[in-house]
Amino acid sequence: MLVLGVDPGLTRCGVGVVSGRPGGACEIVAVEVVRTPSDAELPARLLTLDERLGALVREHRPEAVAVERVFSQHNTQTVIGTAQASAVAILAGARAGVPVTTYTPSEVKAAVTGSGTADKAQVTTMVTRLLRLAEAPRPADAADALALAICHIWRGGAQARLAAALGGGRRGSARAWGGRR
Amino acid sequence: MLVLGVDPGLTRCGVGVVSGRPGGACEIVAVEVVRTPSDAELPARLLTLDERLGALVREHRPEAVAVERVFSQHNTQTVIGTAQASAVAILAGARAGVPVTTYTPSEVKAAVTGSGTADKAQVTTMVTRLLRLAEAPRPADAADALALAICHIWRGGAQARLAAALGGGRRGSARAWGGRR
């Protein structure tokens, strides 16, 4: 399956596209960081992000979009910008009819490192290893976006197997949403 | 001028459309509260909001969109949802090429009541009076959205007169953004 992961942010928004199957190897398809100038007006920044994320969804036609869930433990002023960027990312998938799932940072860390409390360096190391990259993706937003996509591929597979074992084809995650086609 | 005001929220998003000119009387054109169920998934909620706000902008073709600026003094978990809804509202204007301006709650209160620390009841009373309504708009989100639109009409006029007095046609507000046509 092809998954587009987004580490949302107004100044730097990481986007990683990964193909793979649950339990199997993952391949990097694309990675980029969408940037908007911090001195630009908010509407212009959100529109830039919206246009680029929309274009990436149209270009790659992912089967799923995975976005990092925004939490309140950060600096509250930063959290507002991150929440606004996450809304744009979620809409980019939802408008295209692509299922969107959100994951907490701990879920992503646990998926790629085995520990929900791993630090950023450990996540970057594991993303580099899992995708067999010659060098680490930079900046950290790029590595985080790739980790989100890997997390969705692996967890999605586990959910599908669980649903199958329970005798239904139903999606297992309470946080997944099937979109509108 | 015709202004569409938005009091952003995920559960209740107030929208008010007001026509008027700076220093003159204002007329209500439309008011509604867009609601999304709190037990629905976030992507579905954001998409519902996006579709309705986009439809209202296409229907009314406002010359400006005024959105309440999100602040961090609220409950941080609530602030995340409000910030996400505000991003959808700002994008609805920006995508349509309509200039979007954000106002703090204090700016809106000061515009319609003369005091930046007025309470909600006072804002509702003044909105009802200024628009010569037979009864108060309910819920408060509807009154707040109308107040935002009135605030923009009045402040926009003051800014235009200031800019004219300064010898330029330039917009005076650092928070206004002209959109893309």
B181 within a domain of the structure (yes/no): no
Longest dimension (CA), chain A: 54
The pLDDT of residue B78 is 84
pLDDT in tens, chain B (181 residues): 999 999 999 999 999 999 998 878 899 999 999 999 999 999 999 999 999 999 999 999 999 999 999 987 657 778 999 999 999 999 999 999 999 999 999 999 999 999 999 999 999 999 999 999 999 999 999 999 999 999 999 987 566 666 667 764 444 344 555 655 4
Residues annotated in a binding site of A for Mg(2+): 7, 68, 141
Q: How confident is the model at residue A117 (pLDDT cuts 50, 70, 90)?
A: very high
Tokens of B79: 């602030």
A61 within a domain of the structure (yes/no): yes
Active site residues of A: 7, 68, 141
Q: CA B47, CA A87: separation in Å to the nearest integer?
A: 10
A181 within a domain of the structure (yes/no): no
Q: CA A126, CA A112: separation in Å to the nearest integer?
A: 6
Interface test with A, best of B4, B6, B42 (most A CBs within 10 A): B42
Domain span at residue A36 reads: 2-172
ipTM of the complex: 0.85
Listed in sequence order, the residues at least 6 apart from A114 whose beta carbon sits closer than 8 Å to its beta carbon are none
The answer to whether residue A181 scores a pLDDT higher than 70 is: no
SS3 at position B15: strand
A87/B87 CB distance under 8 A: yes
The number of distinct structural domains making up chain B is 1
The pLDDT of residue A61 is 98
Residue A67: closest CA among chain B residues belongs to which residue?
B43
Cis peptide before A8 (omega within 30 of 0): no
A81 within a domain of the structure (yes/no): yes
Neighbours of B27 (CB within 10 A): 12
Listed in sequence order, the residues at least 6 apart from A95 whose beta carbon sits closer than 8 Å to its beta carbon are A54, B47, B50
Neighbours of B71 (CB within 10 A): 15
B180 within a domain of the structure (yes/no): no
Residues annotated in a binding site of B: 7, 68, 141
A94/B47 CB distance under 8 A: yes
A178 within a domain of the structure (yes/no): no
Give the domain CATH number at A6. Answer: 3.30.420.10
A27 within a domain of the structure (yes/no): yes
Neighbours of A98 (CB within 10 A): 22
Using an 8 Å CB-CB cutoff, list residues of chain B that contact chain A.
41-44, 46-47, 50, 70-72, 76-77, 79-81, 83-88, 90-91, 93-95, 100, 102, 175-177, 179-180
The pLDDT of residue B123 is 96
A148 within a domain of the structure (yes/no): yes
